[in-house]
Amino acid sequence: MIRTYSDLMQLGTYEERLEYLRLRGVVGSDTFGFDRYLNQKFYRSPEWKRVRDEVIVRDNGCDLGLPGYEIGDRIFVHHMNPIDISDIQESPDYLICVSKETHDAIHYGADMSEYYERKRLVERSVGDTKLW
């Protein structure tokens, strides 16, 4: 299954988007093997930095591109589809901003119930004086 930003944006909640991106056991497959230096060279290139910046601006620095889920620390630009040497070229339609916690959940399938609760937006109402 090829995952795309366009398809991901059709999903309304954090939980739905995370489920769409979970790797389901693909973790640990050989991505670059002995050619890992190509990976590192690419991520230092001006082309990658340009695309990365474009994705961060597009997603407003929000986790899984969801408004209200601003990433307060390091932003990861995640490949929605596992890559190898043959397809290291990037397209913003295959990339999404994620937090470290979300990135780990996508890759390692961590139990996210507590994290979901922290990420869930609080509905505000008239006269609501509680900050959070």
Query: Is the pLDDT score of 80 beyond 80?
Result: yes
Angle at 58 between CA 57 and CA 60, to 5 degrees: 60
What's the whole-number mean pLDDT along residues 51-74?
93
Give the per-residue pLDDT at 22.
Answer: 87
Query: Is the pLDDT score of 29 beyond 80?
Result: no
Mean pLDDT of the chain: 79
Q: Which of 3-7, 77-81, 122-126 has the lowest mean pLDDT?
A: 122-126
What's the whole-number mean pLDDT along residues 35-43?
68
User: b vs e for 30-58, b when ≥16 Cβ sit within 10 Å of the residue's Cβ?
Assistant: eeeeeeeeebeebeeeeebeebbeebbee
Give the per-residue pLDDT at 87.
Answer: 58
What's the whole-number mean pLDDT along residues 50-77?
93
d(CA 41, CA 70): 29
